[in-house]
Structure 1
């Protein structure tokens, strides 16, 4: 079966999470992704987070379906090699600080002069312009600067930063959409594109409702835990068996179904809960009623009863229980992939589903830094083992000797 992005080649010169997520998504959809790693040390994600048997677990999924080539981009010989090689690719992804590629004589203008149809994605914390452009940054700072952390948590406690790379992953998804849009434009015009993606801007779509409310009404949201200032009921509720469920009544019909389920028509007609504005103003009282109702039922009983009434309700899972969730299992949202170093690994599948294509996880993140250097450069540039070894001996191309022996 032909892959969705069959024939598209991506040179992934990025590190860490945001930009590599874009490359990972493109690889999931069938693009050939060649990841450039610093010789010896490799990508920082190899040693980021949990490890097993000396291998980074996140690396194995973030770099799945990618090939690893070890090149030191600081070296003039490698920079010249990139200029020769760039015509083999449709997309370049990088996340160096602004000005770094230009310093290496690999700036977008230079690359587009060589390859006018190239799509270049540049991912940084703050973008290529503005007073923050030269500052180092990670997704955590985007979560702080955009106001996401300020409205997360409880008002009597400090702002809450996500316990996962929210901004990075959101930026990675936005980057993939931008690359595909640019490739579509190139198909029509033959012209390449330079995409300037600031991680904080990707996250601003998440907070946009609050931006609009402040701009038009002067509203500044407080931290309200699991409640929302815009709608009620909404929250996490503890059931009699010690397990949690989540519930949302974001539309009037659904909210009325919740009220009817826990208190009958009397509660539906209660003036405290008649409209969404009424319910928001009395959210604590409404939550107390839902909590009392849940404490008389196990989670499964509560979810079944509410679901049968047409309420929007579901289990609040931990990671271990989530993996057993029948919906996740039925859609193969988590799949098992064999890794040569670790063995069977469960990781997220390819999202979303396609009716006429079935994207596949062919392999996990490459075990060895630069393990594909010789094979890829020999194929793309016609370099012989002797030529690659000569580059290796001059220090312009490291970590290839073992591939050439």
Structure 2
């Protein structure tokens, strides 16, 4: 595993994290903490384990996605529906710093594993709870997946072309946004615990994580009654910022800064638009965005992507090709930044996987443990990370 690093060097070294979640949201939070040195034990049900093991493309019966989502974790099999399984998990929780779960609200309480019960014997415990709608409120008990959260949180309505059925991103953004908010919550709770000695519950709802990223959506409605509508590849009210057709593909161009706009217009031979005082600032450009986009398209459509990118980069205008995963895998900048790491799985598959984000200068994260086989580890906290 060429990307291996020492967990002991990570900023979260010594932090004991117990992951009860399955699929994406909870496990992505666990992966992120594990990437930075936390000792993560993943509890899986007997038999098939986490369903993610079987999601999408498989190698020798196991998802290659599993190699990313469950790296830096150990796998312990326990049946939480049994008294024996719950007793074992309670023993682990009593020594844990962080407990992650993404079950339907009330499930852990039904099993006798509610926060008040657990905190009675481990008052420093931080519990990250990720669910569709949160731990309270009128929708608390409804099932919630990322696809629904993205719709309720406002994202889905804005995606796609005007008048068409809204599209979705090809990944589960609601889950990963919730996981990242959860990690922020855990780090904040750890900071508070350092002062008070007490843990707390971090309650993350999928739809709220999406809603938190909706920028000016709510204040614009509150102040002006404006209901933002889908706008395809454009960014409403910000001009010019769009995807543009080229002779052999497409590019995205962000020319919405005042000085950037002038450089862009000069580069495409439209100094008349660049020097127009009505277009000097964003408000004026937004009012004439169709005119500006038409001028840019008239230039880009006659040129191949490579030429467009070269010319605009030379003019210090933000521009880029629309990458496929093949483009990412072959891009030298991805590799120079460590964003593509090569591992060799336990069954001998050489596999490129995403690197660790964010990058820390003194205590960087890394891949220090391959994704585990089902039930590979004993139900105990280790003295180190190499058992």
Q: Is TM (by shorter chain) over 0.5?
A: yes
Instruction: Report what 1:130 is aligned to.
Output: 137
> Does the 8 A contact of 2:154 with 2:210 survive in 1?
no
2:38 is aligned, of 4, 10, 31, to: 31
Instruction: Report what 1:401 is aligned to.
Output: none
> Does the 8 A contact of 2:45 with 2:78 survive in 1?
yes
Aligned-pair distance for 1:379?
5.6
Deviation digits for residues 185-212 of structure 1, max 9, x if unmatched?
1111111111111011111122131112
Measure the CA separation in 1 of the matches of 2:56 and 2:192: 38
Three-state SS of the structure 1 residue aligned to 2:18 is strand
> Does the 8 A contact of 2:265 with 2:273 survive in 1?
yes
1:168 equivalent to 2:169? Answer no
Three-state SS of the structure 2 residue aligned to 1:263 is coil
Three-state SS of the structure 2 residue aligned to 1:201 is helix
Q: Figure out how many residues of one structure are paired with residues of the other and give that number.
A: 376
Write out the 4+ residue segments of structure 1 that deviate beyond 4 Å after TM superposition: none
Aligned-pair distance for 1:342?
5.3
> Does the 8 A contact of 2:160 with 2:166 survive in 1?
yes
Instruction: Report what 2:334 is aligned to.
Output: 328
Aligned-pair distance for 1:282?
2.4
Aligned-pair distance for 1:154?
0.4
Measure the CA separation in 1 of the matches of 2:158 and 2:380: 49
**Greater gyration radius:** 1
Deviation digits for residues 33-52 of structure 1, max 9, x if unmatched?
00000011100111122222
Instruction: Report what 2:23 is aligned to.
Output: 16
Aligned-pair distance for 1:119?
0.5
> Does the 8 A contact of 2:29 with 2:180 survive in 1?
yes
Deviation digits for residues 74-96 of structure 1, max 9, x if unmatched?
11122222222222211000111
Instruction: Report what 1:85 is aligned to.
Output: 92
1:370 is aligned, of 361, 367, 375, to: 375
Correspondence list, 1:382-401, <5 A: none
Measure the CA separation in 2 of the matches of 1:315 and 1:342: 34
**Any gaps of 5 or more consecutive residues in structure 1?**
381-405
Measure the CA separation in 1 of the matches of 2:222 and 2:280: 28
Three-state SS of the structure 1 residue aligned to 2:130 is strand
> Does the 8 A contact of 2:68 with 2:371 survive in 1?
yes
Measure the CA separation in 1 of the matches of 2:323 and 2:381: 49
Deviation digits for residues 372-402 of structure 1, max 9, x if unmatched?
1x3x43869xxxxxxxxxxxxxxxxxxxxxx
Measure the CA separation in 2 of the matches of 1:284 and 1:224: 12
TM-score in terms of structure 1 length = 0.89
Three-state SS of the structure 2 residue aligned to 1:98 is coil
Q: CA RMSD in A?
A: 1.7
